[in-house]
Amino acid sequence: MPTILRIGPYRFFFYSNEQGEPPHIHVQREDRLAKYWLMPVSLASSTRFPVHELRLIQRRIKENRDLLMEAYLGYFDGKH
């Protein structure tokens, strides 16, 4: 579970066994979890996050999308 970024209470990471899916990032805060596609940035799923917080997280992902994509592709391209 490589952690790519931390912003405030949020941890941005991906699971190392999900290489069959399009590029995405998971976001965790305490017992809350969300998954966002990176191209284009959009919510894939969410557990326990309120809508206003999901919008904030999506903005942070858009601001850091290049970094997140580079980390995701760098990790999974190295596994082929």
pLDDT for res 78? 65
Task: Give the DSSP letter string of 12-55.
Answer: EE--TT-TTSPSEEEEEETTEEEEEEETTEEEEEEES--HHHHH
pTM of the predicted model as reported, rounded to 2 decimal places: 0.92
* pLDDT at 3 exceeding the cut of 70: yes
pLDDT digits (tens, 9 = 90+) for 21-72: 999 999 999 999 999 999 999 999 999 999 999 999 999 999 999 999 999 9
